[in-house]
Amino acid sequence: MPAETTDIDDIREQARRWLDDDPDPASRAELRAVLDRLPASAPELADRFAGPLTFGTAGLRGPLRAGPNGMNLAVVTQAAAGLVGWLAAQGGTGPLVIGYDARHGSREFAERTAQVATGAGRPALLLPRPLPTPVLAYAVRHLGAVAGVMVTASHNPPQDNGYKVYLGAELGGTLGAGAQIVPPADAGIEAAIRSVGSLAEVPLGPAGQVLGDDLAASYVERATAVIDPAGSRDLAVAYTPLHGVGAAVLTAAFARAGFPVPGVVPEQAEPDPAFPTVSFPNPEEPGAVDRLVALAEATGADIAIANDPDADRCAVAVRDTARAASAGGGVAGPAQPDAAPPGWRMLRGDEVGVLLADHLMRRGVTGLYATTIVSSSLLRAMCAARGLPYDETLTGFKWIVRAGGGAEPLVFGYEEALGYCVAPEHVRDKDGITAALTVAELAAGLKARGRTLTDRLDELAAEFGVHHTDQLSVRVDDLRLIADAMARIRAATPTALLGQPVTEAQDLLPEADVVILRTGAARVVIRPSGTEPKLKAYLEVVEPVAAGDVAGARARARDAVATLRTEMTKTLNL
């Protein structure tokens, strides 16, 4: 029998066994339709059964489709049963709290998780409606839950969904109370999921207790306590939730804090799982904030703010007519100089991160400041100059909130991908709502003195030098290409960047698949993405400012990073 026929027969048999155990009639019908199209559908069927979704950087995340390699009711039932079983095996007590966004399937997946929990005898608390991820992270701590589940795919495409797990203090410890899971918990939960037998034998109870709106109100009350009650509130803000779940919570927080309620992009104000006005629901992507900037321009807003769909990230756009071209503008992350209309630019995640850190330092907030190995080195320089403890972690907020190992209390953490934690005791994760409030507080205070966020960035550049960052991101269809590229980098590590010798080449294996290259004035960090089929190279050039000429230093740094980007494109050869 030809090998191809044998493979199809094997996959067909796997699909039939899956059908026998799938609790969702819609998924069963979907999979039967794929089977009916064999052999033409063999590649699609093979992909659906290529392997089960596994817990990665963001828990489970994948396309909504039938089969083990997708997000569907069967996969969620198995994941919930494994999680609940693991919690019991660890001796964890207390309820499981569950949140969800407005994506396709999110409410159903949340309710099924609650049914699995109650069926196992564990109380389940369900958030009252689609709410931001930071509200779920807050609820884990606020309610003393043993763990939390957030059903969301964050800023992924509309066809995706996901499943993030947080632990409470009992199993997560002091640093991990209300934080995302880390090893060995992720491996333990993954093993427990794989040990779940027939889904028909997983007991299902009622859908748990639906919490009241007082939880969201409590989150908003605590969020507004992050900022100084005596600060200026004269600030006009344009805002978009990008069809996500952030608008109601953010506008309530601004109103309670005493700010004018932001103007909201009307076409994007309400949750919509189709994300109809954007090609990709991520404020980092070209075109995603066009409507936001248009609203800001039309209404005379001082700044523009965007949350991603689950509101754990925060993007900021500023008026910058004079420097829009020369400042290396464009969206945070990948360089997109023309992403914002003339007169505006999106601040990079590193820029917002150091602005927030500097603001907290100036307010006298002492303790540990942390970021990741792929973020700008400016925060390190600021902490060194101001005598504050600093730490760098691997990428991801599950590591940032555990920075320093508890030797110093964490007071601020950020990552360049638009994630900021300005109040770790409030939410031990990135939080786009409190970040937006703190940005507004800073911008209003500067406005009261006739200055702007870009003015403050210039002052930091004059003091510490221009730290220009950029990102080279290559999407692939075959993950083996990424592995091959990382192998090539390790086998033939560049010895020079920008004509300067590489003074340090650091390989973080086996802890992480990361290679770091440094020269006297440049740094490159190369790693596969943890959530997408991409290889990323994070670029930074530090350019001193001579005689107060910040604009000249920015221009030199921008040109150097452009050259570095070209060099790394050739080196990665993808």
Which residues does the annotation mark as catalytic?
154
Rounded to whole angstroms, the Cα distance separating 272 from 26 reads 21
Question: What does the angle CA 9 – CA 13 – CA 16 come to, to the nearest 5 degrees?
Answer: 140
Q: What is the three-class DSSP state of 416?
A: coil
Question: Do residues 219 and 134 touch, judged by C-beta distance below 8 A?
Answer: yes
Distance in angstroms between the alpha carbons of the first and the last residue of the chain: 38
Name the maximum alpha-carbon separation found in the chain: 80
Encoded amino acid at 179, one letter = A
Task: Please list, in sequence order, all residues whose beta carbon lies within 8 angstroms of the beta carbon of residue 385, skipping any fewer than 6 positions away.
Answer: 463, 464
> How would you classify the pairing of strands 237-240 and 263-264?
parallel
Q: Burial, 334: exposed, middle or buried (Cβ in 10 Å; 0-12, 13-18, 19+)?
A: middle
Question: Do residues 393 and 400 touch, judged by C-beta distance below 8 A?
Answer: yes
Lookup: tokens for 516: 């770091």
Rounded to whole angstroms, the Cα distance separating 121 from 127 reads 19
> What residues pair up with 540 in beta bridges, in sequence order?
469, 523
- DSSP letter assigned to residue 325: T
Secondary structure, 3-state, 104-152: CCHHHHHHHHHHHHHHCCCCEEECCCCCCHHHHHHHHHHCCCCEEEEEC
Rounded to whole angstroms, the Cα distance separating 546 from 466 reads 11
Place of tokens 């069927």: 45
> What residues pair up with 518 in beta bridges, in sequence order?
504, 523
Question: Do residues 167 and 71 touch, judged by C-beta distance below 8 A?
Answer: no
Rounded to whole angstroms, the Cα distance separating 200 from 39 reads 30
- DSSP letter assigned to residue 285: S
Question: Do residues 75 and 167 touch, judged by C-beta distance below 8 A?
Answer: no
Encoded amino acid at 200, one letter = A
Ramachandran bin of 138, using left for φ above 0, alpha for ψ from -120 to 50, beta for the remaining angles: alpha
Q: Where are the beta strands (DSSP E) in 480-561?
A: 496-497, 500-501, 504-507, 515-518, 522-528, 534-543
Rounded to whole angstroms, the Cα distance separating 120 from 147 reads 15
Q: Burial, 435: exposed, middle or buried (Cβ in 10 Å; 0-12, 13-18, 19+)?
A: buried
In this structure, how many other beta carbons lie within 10 angstroms of the beta carbon of residue 264?
Answer: 20
The upper half-sphere exposure of residue 127, i.e. CA atoms within 13 Å in the direction of its Cβ, equals 34
Q: Burial, 531: exposed, middle or buried (Cβ in 10 Å; 0-12, 13-18, 19+)?
A: middle
Encoded amino acid at 245, one letter = V
> What residues pair up with 474 in beta bridges, in sequence order?
535
